[in-house]
Structure 1
Amino acid sequence: MGSKPVLVVTADGLDTATLESALADTPASITYLSDLTDLFDTLTHSVFHALVLPETVDGQSGTDIAYGVRTLFPDLPVIIVGEDPEAVPDTLEVTAVEPSARLEDAVAEAVRDSLGAEPPTVAGRPPSPMETLLLSLFNELPDHLYAKDDQARHVLLGRGFNEPTDRLGLTDVEVPELAEEHARAALRDEMDVIEEETDRVEVEEFLDLDASYVRTRKMPWYDSTGDVQGIIGHTQDITDRKLREHAFRRQNERMVKVALVASHELRNELQIAYGRLEELADCDGPTADIAESLSQISAIIDTVVELSTSDPNGPVQHAEIEQVPKREHVWLSRLSREVWDTLADSEACLTFDGDTRIVADQESAGLLLQILFQNALEHAGPSVTVTVGLTADGFFVADDGPGIDVEPPERVFDAGHTAVAENTGFGLYVARRVAADQGWTVTAAESESGGARFDIGNVDCPE
């Protein structure tokens, strides 16, 4: 009778010498594994007929680990040592050996029973080139690769962002370091892919984890019959790219501000010139030439404003063609953080009271947030705390500054209204126009701390 390899993940509570003695009359050859992060590498590259897991190892549940193992090695017998059989779901199809004075004998009996069956079809044979290629991709790619089963539970993780076993058996809502709103949205996205309500998902997020900005793609994982049995995910750190975009945005914003302020001043002068021209209506002289020149100047101003405020990355548009905004799903926190990082220094603070995904043209929504953040920094000072939070039909931006000292508060949206001498007074006027283009509303009120608060309503926030 040939030797049948058994992999035992070691942990406190199991006496390995006693276990080997109890298995002395069986063909089992035991391999011990002390580093749980090597579990899938070991199972893939070697041949095993059974796996023994402890109830917990490195703070992780053996039952959760078994979810990943059973999905990738579906007929490999798994024995969980020291676990109450009632605590293991029947659908997992593993053997649980509850604690007892003769624990090693009970484990040996479970191993003996498993070795009497046919060898596993996957773990019981050498790996194929495709299996080793896939595992190498998961291990070596600096991005985060992962696979989840048909309940969106992690069954395999790469080493890009996490240890390859620290989320096994868990959905995103059960991972403690993930924000609750983001975890719930991720689970909804994944179930939509699994249930074939959508082909794939792609979303950018801001995270307070190893990477600040990430892009995640999720695609179906098909089995041999073509049915969806889970998802494959790819999360990429895009922080460096976002920081370059921030620098470009700051440069572009300075150019836009110069163009808008200059156009405002020039239009004021044009109004004066047109007024003087009307006074010359009854006079003899070349007034038609003057009117033509003023008209040309006005057209040039319009062109400068259009060019300075159009998308610099988009195609060149003719002035008479209306540009159609690109509306897409975007996390409110991610977009807010991107805009904030281009404006505020370390004294100011941005906080969040909830988070959601909104459907918006990112350029327009970013400009709206930029104006509201700038308004807070200018009126409340460089140490202001700005809060972005959720409302029943959208979101709000509030600060802890001196508030709105004008009645009624809606006057702050009037063109030219300003409480800061060097300002043009067009910021909040433009903000309301930008919001209206999205189909949104903007209203002014007092924040809980007595500062200014702007509520943006009628926003599409899909569940």
Structure 2
Amino acid sequence: MAEGTIRTLVVDDSEFFADMTAETLTQEHGMDAVSVHSGATAAERLAEEEFDCVVSDYEMPEMDGLELLSTVREEDPSLPFILLTGRGDEETASKAIRAGVADYLLKLEVVEDKQYGRLANRIESVVKQDRTRKKFESLVANSPDGIAHITQKGVLLSANPSLADRLGTTPTALAGERLTDVMDTEIARRRVAALREAIDEGETVETTDSLDGRHYQNQFVPVESHRERATAQLVSRDVTERVERERELERQNERLEEFASVVSHDLRNPLNVAASALELLDVEEDNEMVAKIDRSLDRMSDIIEDVLTLAREGRAVHEPEWVAIESLAEEAWADVATDGATLSVTVTGEIEADPTRARDLFANLFRNAVEHNDGPVTVTVGARDDGFYVADDGTGIDDESDVFEMGHSTADDGTGIGLAIVAQIADAHGWGLELADSADGGARFDVTGVVSRE
């Protein structure tokens, strides 16, 4: 039997009709249909074998179709059951619906009008719905998120094991309980208020809260149904680890910036003293030594500025803006001593970023291209499917293994912090950063995972 084939049990006391129906469903509609000729036999087969759907006659001796349905429901409350009835009256239809049939058809229409295609379509429809429902229920039951179906008044209609575990009980025990009776009252009230807002507005509402030291991100999704009561689905995700990581990162950033500020302050004082003393020296008498000291002081100043920048650029970007990438590149280029180099921007559109820090990323990549090549170079900012790149036509980078490491520099006067700053900014945005050879043999830096728009 092919995967996905619908296995159907056809039940009718008329052997001719049962066998013909099963044969037609099998040969003409690709099902695996089995026929039996009594309700008792059908019950036995269902106890022994798996079926996707039951198609049963209503009027049968000893056990009629509705009695068979009652027996089936004791073992399987959801097995799709289609009833074939010889009567088209409202009383029969009402009985069938109350009993929980998935659908019902007039038997004479199927037999005399030979509408087996219509019957096959009904079978496929109810089985598809049942399989979709089972898949959804399996996902809900096995989800690590807490999921519940709740009425507008805060009554739990159902809950999955994850939510029940959080509340120290079982899904069965939660059914019918009020949310305010099974968890912290104030938090429950806020959740019910959000649920009512979702139902009233017809839109998903999101909230966050904390319970027993854990942090949760909640979604309240209005449910469209024919129930008399308005309801919504609650999906509650435990985000404690993420919140704690963010808080720890924030603390680390604060400590790093404090450290950088202290270091820069303690360095700047003796640096200023040295610079002042340098002005008092006789330049003509010891010109070479004065130049050497001057270069050292400039380098110390550069290091201080880079350390401060590195400390601040590592903070995560929480509120990015849409900014034109072409403007970012051109503004950053204006901040760099280009020494005759030229800039070519071939990318357009906007990216989602912190404008100041993204401009710093470009500036450091530009500065790296200018300072690590002999003679003027052309620097290109181009587009890629998931971001952008910055490339030059210089000599390239021989050792790419630790180029983003702190202190790595091939330039005599480089601080070795510029590309570390680039890596920090990319990481703060959630971007990827890769080094490769450009088409012209120089260096190419690919920035990936960038959210962009035209």
TM-score relative to the length of structure 2 = 0.32
Instruction: Flag the structure with larger Rg.
Output: 2
Which has the larger share of helix?
A: 2
- Say which structure, 1 or 2, has more relative contact order (CA 8 Å, 6+ apart): 1
TM-score relative to the length of structure 1 = 0.31
